[in-house]
Amino acid sequence: MKIAVLAGDGIGPEIITQGVRVLTALKSDGLKIELESGLLGGCAVDSAADPFPEVTCKLVNEADAVLLGAVGGPQYDALPRSKRPEQGLLRIRKALNLFANLRPAILYPELANASTLKPEVVAGLDIMIVRELTGDIYFGEPRGIEQRDNQRVGYNTMIYSETEIRRIAHVAFQTARKRNRKLCSVDKMNVLECTQLWRDVVTETANEYPDVTLSHMLVDNAAMQLIRDPKQFDVMVTGNMFGDILSDEASMLTGSIGMLPSASLDQNNKGLFEPSHGSAPDIAGKNVANPLATILSVAMMLRYTFNQEEAALRIENSVKKVLSKNYRTRDIFGQGMTLVGTIEMGDAVLEAL
């Protein structure tokens, strides 16, 4: 298992260190793991003037999977668009054809009080958002800002081919099949042609999955329903931009984005695995960031790319054990709990492992 490790910026290096400790522990238990580090995002801009340098491209192409921390920081905000850390993320997704982004939102019973929603609304929550990741308005052409009739206009193109929609629909139906067999497809077909096609193609694809119950929802309603009654959902599938927004919303149902891993997969389950949260520059270098989303991303890597279900469960059970022992980083801290830092949380997971 060749794994490229891209720590990135902000809290990235601290949380990745803990993820790598978990991988190293599994390696000493016999898993054949090889790790190699590279630069992506702001750190790559600093050292190579490019958020996704050629060497990193080569490294991730040769790897079987990528473990990523987070990218970005305020010091890069003023750079031209092509030099911003986020471009590194968008380019690596495109370069590896990582079209399927899986973002689970699971509420651990121990953290029921961390949510801003009433416990009865979120208790037992377990949603999987399947977000298309290499198309839509994120990559559509033409795009730009230009002068028209003596004023500036900005424009982007929302575009999906039926091939792109069909392949993400298959991933979503297959994901639902392994869960509670309920899939909700989210679009804006009452206004946008692009998403009318989305609805049509998802509906056609459903013929191949008679065992999965498909429903459709408009994105504005879906945003509302996620807050009103999130447990009505099992798997949700949507395009790149709606998925970006809805997955942040869903993550906060669970109380802390610091708990949520993610997987971005290509057609062959090669993938990039990263915490759902960002680089949190305000707390970088202070040993307070929650490393659990990264550690859970390692579990997703073992499950989805390497088919090591047992090792994945071992990691997930270790995280549960640590939570049940009341260890908490600052973001999930509550009364009567033991406050720990990034490293101490890593220690606790390793001990449980």
- Binder of ligand IPM out of 4, 60, 63, 89 (CB under 6 A): 89
Q: Based on the residue annotation, tell me whether 244 is a catalytic residue of this protein.
A: yes
Catalytic residue among 9, 160, 188, 327: 188
Among 25, 57, 86, 218, binds ligand IPM (CB under 6 A): 86
Contact region for Mg ion (CB under 5 A) — 29-37, 93-101, 130-138, 244-252?
Answer: 244-252
Active-site residue, selected from the candidate residues 29, 220, 229, 282: 220
Q: What is the DSSP string of 185-209?
A: EEE-TTT-HHHHHHHHHHHHHGGG-
Q: How far is the CB of 297 from ligand IPM (least distance, A)?
A: 13
C-alpha to C-alpha distances, 313 to 86, 92, 251, 295, 300, nearest whole angstrom: 31, 28, 21, 12, 9
- Residue 38 CA: distances (Å) to CA of 41, 56, 166, 262: 10, 6, 33, 20
Per-residue b or e along 63-72, where b marks 16 or more CB atoms closer than 10 Å to that residue's CB: bbbbbbbbbb
Decide whether 4 or 68 has the Cβ nearer to ligand IPM: 68
- Name the binder of 110 from Mg ion, ligand IPM, none, CB < 5-8 A by kind: none
Minimum distance from CB of 203 to ligand IPM (Å)? Answer: 26
DSSP assigned state of 112: G
Q: Which of 83, 63, 10, 32 is nearest to 283 (CA)?
A: 10
Distance between CA atoms of residues 302 and 220, nearest Å: 35
Check residue 249 for interaction with ligand IPM (CB under 6 A).
no
Structure tokens at 16: 């990745």
How many other C-beta atoms lie within 10 A of the C-beta of residue 351? Answer: 11
Nearer to Mg ion, 72 or 346 (CB): 72
What span, in angstroms and rounded, lies between the C-alpha atoms of 100 and 247? 13
Catalytic: 50?
A: no
Minimum gap (Å) between residue 71 Cβ and ligand IPM:
7
- Supply the minimum distance, in Å, between the C-beta of residue 86 and Mg ion: 10
- Using CB under 6 A, count the residues that bind ligand IPM: 4
Minimum CB separation of residue 89 from ligand IPM in Å reads 5
One-letter amino acid of 107: L
Element (H, E) at 179: none
Contact between 244 and Mg ion by CB under 5 A: the answer reads yes
| Cβ-contact 248, 216 below 8 angstroms | no
Give the active site residue among 248, 266, 320, 325: 248
Interaction of residue 40 with ligand IPM, rule CB under 6 A: no
Q: Specify the stretch interacting with ligand IPM by CB under 6 A; choose among 34-42, 85-93, 146-154, 226-234.
A: 85-93
Residue 179 CA to its chain's centroid (Å) = 19
Partner whose footprint covers residue 89, from Mg ion, ligand IPM, none (CB < 5 to 8 Å by kind): ligand IPM
Q: Is 136 a catalytic residue?
A: no
**Which residue numbers are catalytic?**
138, 188, 220, 244, 248
- Contacts with Mg ion by CB under 5 A lie at 244
- Contacts with ligand IPM by CB under 6 A lie at 86, 89-90, 244
